[in-house]
């Protein structure tokens, strides 16, 4: 699979979203408990236009 930007056709680089929390996920029916489950998010960023795309949860089993 060739990694090209959907917006401009530029080169994509793979990385992990930086932030204090990564990704929060509230399982359905648990939102009132306010105990989110956490995981890191992997994504691609275009070197030319900066578009962030193709979001993927790194450790999906932590969210289940």
Calpha distance 32→47 (Å, rounded):
40
The answer to the question of residue 6 being in a domain is no
The answer to the question of residue 5 being in a domain is no
pTM across the whole model: 0.61
Total count of domains within the chain: 1
For 1-64, strand residue ranges (E) read 12-16, 23-25, 37-39, 41-46, 52-57
The answer to the question of residue 7 being in a domain is no
Calpha distance 2→9 (Å, rounded):
11
29-57 pLDDT per residue, tens: 666 666 666 777 888 889 999 898 888 88
The answer to the question of residue 4 being in a domain is no
The answer to the question of residue 58 being in a domain is yes
The answer to the question of residue 18 being in a domain is yes
4-17 pLDDT per residue, tens: 999 999 999 988 87
Domain hosting 46: range is: 12-63
The answer to the question of residue 1 being in a domain is no
Calpha distance 61→55 (Å, rounded):
16
Beta partners for residue 53, in sequence order? 44
């Amino acid at each position: 699979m060739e990694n090209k930007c959907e917006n401009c056709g530029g080169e994509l680089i793979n990385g992990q979203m930086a932030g204090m929390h990564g990704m929060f996920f509230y399982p359905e029916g648990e939102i009132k408990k306010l105990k989110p489950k956490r995981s890191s998010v992997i994504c691609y960023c275009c070197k030319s236009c900066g578009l962030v795309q193709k979001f993927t949860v790194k450790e999906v089993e932590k969210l289940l």
